[in-house]
Structure 1
Amino acid sequence: MDLFLVLILAATAAHLLNLQQQRRRIALLAQQLQPYQIERLMETLTQGYLRAMGEQGDERRQQVLGLLASSEAQLSEQFERFVADFRRIPAQQARVSRLPLGLPFATQLLPGTTFDMREVLEIHAGGIARAWRNEAGLAPRERAFVMTAELLLMQHSCHWFCKSKVVASARMLARHQTPHAQLVASVSPETRKAYLALTG
């Protein structure tokens, strides 16, 4: 009975410590995002792409996509500035655990199982900029698809930073009906290669 009580107390303490660390990460990310309109621009673009893909004719689809051009440019520019600001975060605060579940002090106790959020954000910034400039010369429909994947994978990384990989993947599945593996497969080859090399 005593051992059972000790285990319950230890699990409760670990859970509370984990929640405390997660709150700090959420506050840190919110503080860094606060000067920008990244979330609003992402919502505008993802909704706009869905609307464009629902259009029957190519001409009407092109009109809708054309209306999104300024939002794409703003998002790419603002995200580049956000990444530059986030680069100033101390390395220890930017570590993310590769472990599927969030564990207290995992980034400090198991540094070999971590990656740097500053680096993953730079990968996302490159992917968003490439999709915006359409460096691959994709057709409008495919370009919108890749840009959406780049944005959602970036959002997944932010949730991973704040909580854990399992929570981030569950949120992506619940909100967008998209598994993490599908997002990784749908971004540009350059993003995919760099992302997998960093995050494992």
Structure 2
Amino acid sequence: MDIFTLSLLAFAGAFILKTTDQRQRILLLGRHLGQFQIEKLMERLSEGYMRALSEKDPERRQQIWQLQASTEASLASQFQRFAAGLAKDAAAPFRVNRIALPYADRWLPGASFDLREAMRIHARGIQQTVDNTAQRSERDRAYTLLAELYLMQHTCHWYCRTRATASARVLARHQTPYAQLVASVSPETRQAYSELVGFKG
């Protein structure tokens, strides 16, 4: 068997392993997310924020901000429950690969991080931003919360695929580079997240 054939077989084997690994991850995460309406609430909140930010009349703008309160509270609550549910699923493979190789978390544990810990960080950041513990203006709080949510989305995509794929999706969908997302979340989230995933900026 020549080198070309061996290389082709190796490539095919790696592709099958990668596809299988990604499919399992998507199904596992989807099973947990399917219990909630997190994505729908995110879309509703994003639309509401965009309306408020584009509103010229101050009184009307304030009314739109106030209308988002119930969506914010529901989103924060559901995400807390989602993160808690992940934490209880101790037997599931929730390692996120830092390198784009299938099953790398199994033979290089140091090259991965725990998705459950990442979701705890995101849940805490979302809740603190909704509670506005930093006393931000409505505008700044909206931008911070969107950054918290988009970074959480990035983590989910990273778990299911790769960091490069996650970054490309966030950039395409929200026109925001990965590094800018990390810079835009709360300082507490940024520090905890960076330490967990090894983000260097």
CA distance in 2, matches of 1:65, 1:2: 66
Residue 193 of structure 2 corresponds to 195
Residue 35 of structure 1 corresponds to 35
CA distance in 2, matches of 1:159, 1:45: 20
Residue aligned with 2:93, SS: helix
> Is the contact made by 1:91 and 1:116 (CA closer than 8 Å) also made in structure 2?
no
Residue 141 of structure 2 corresponds to 143
Residue aligned with 2:110, SS: helix
CA distance in 2, matches of 1:56, 1:5: 65
TM-score, reference length from structure 2? 0.95
Residue aligned with 1:151, SS: helix
Residue 171 of structure 1 corresponds to 169
CA distance in 2, matches of 1:91, 1:97: 17
Residue aligned with 1:56, SS: coil
What do residues 36-92 of structure 1 show as CA deviations (whole Å, max 9, x unaligned)? Answer: 111110111112111211111322221111111001000111111111110122366
Residues 15-164 of structure 1: pairs in structure 2 closer than 5 A:
15-90=15-90, 93-99=93-99, 101=100, 103-164=101-162
Q: Percent identity?
A: 53
CA distance in 2, matches of 1:12, 1:56: 57
Q: Aligned partner of 2:67: which letter?
A: L
**Offset of residue 151 of structure 1:** 0.4
Q: Aligned partner of 2:195: which letter?
A: A
Q: Aligned partner of 1:5: which letter?
A: T
How much is the aligned-residue C-alpha RMSD, in angstroms?
1.2
Q: Which has the higher contact order (CA 8 A, sep 6+)?
A: 1
In structure 1, stretches of 5+ residues that fail to align are: none
Structure 1 stretch 163-172 or stretch 81-90: which is displaced more? 81-90
